[in-house]
Copies of this chain bind each other. A is one copy, B any other.
Amino acid sequence: MDPIKFRCKECHKRVEAQYTLDSVRASLARQEDTIIFALIERAKFPLNNFGHNRLFGSDEYIGSMINGLVLKTEAVQSKAGRYINPEENPFFPENLPPSAAPDYPFSEFLQGAGASININKEIWEVYFHELIPMFIKCGDDGNHAQSVLADLTLLQAISRRIHYGKFVAEVKFRESPKIYEPLIRAKDSEGLMDELSSESVEERVVKRVERKATVFGQEVSLEYDVSGDTYMINSVASKLYKKYLIPLTKKVQVEYLLKRLD
């Protein structure tokens, strides 16, 4: 099909990501919506585990279907430049092809060795062993490719949220270097964790997520659920945040800060 031809003077205008306390909070709130939409979309499908442990019938690689499909999709995305954005972290970084997209001057906001922290292996385990069993019914509707793509969309949204902790930590460090520097030099993980934690803020986030999931999921349970059963997206979303997303984001923040002065 023909390439797209529309163009205007503003087309090439750069829209730079901002990292301030306000913008970081706004981004985290916006990411909640993405995660909830992705939860709802994944819930459309049953487990579809049928192909997960089988060999993916390809001569190019051997592995479970889900690994293969995610790896292949990440390779296509990598070539198109996804991972030159420091907010993005691949699940299979080992053999990714380099970006073939035009260079883009992403902000060099992150500092130190912590910029390359990637805890996606842990996120992958949590996702398939903790989260999926929470809200996905067993069964096979044949839509394996579609449900793996829904898995990947949700995994990417969760991963972006958790690794966004690096940006949160950097913003906080720049706001109060006098508080963080001594803790970092003393390698005081617990002190850093205390400094980064706020029970009241975290509770507010969990409550907001639960409310959002109720709002965004309301039509789904009204219309999709013919049998009176519900997907319980609101309790899943708030549990996901409370048990995994908030603790893992803080873990990334502490790890990032410990390497901030290296």
Binding site for B on A (CB under 8 A): 1, 3-8, 10-17, 22-23, 26, 29-30, 32-34, 37, 40-41, 44, 46-47, 49-54, 56-58, 63-69, 72-73, 76-82, 84-85, 88, 91-92, 100-102, 104-106, 121, 124-125, 128-129, 132-133, 137-146, 148-149, 153, 212, 215-216, 218-220, 223-224, 226
Contact = CB atoms under 8 A, between A and B. Distances in A.
Given A69-B76, A142-B106, A153-B153, A49 B3 contact: no
Contacts of A124: 1
A110 to B, nearest CB: 15
A79 B22 CA distance: 44
B5 A53 contact: yes
B49 A41 contact: no
Number of identical protomers = 2
A149 B149 CA distance: 11
A223 B23 CA distance: 10
Contact of A80 (B23, B26, B78, B144): B144
B139 A14 contact: yes
Contacts of A88: 146
A65 to B, nearest CB: 7
B56 A100 contact: yes
B144 A10 contact: no
Given A66-B4, A124-B1, A138-B8, A80 B148 contact: yes
Contacts of A104: 140, 142, 144
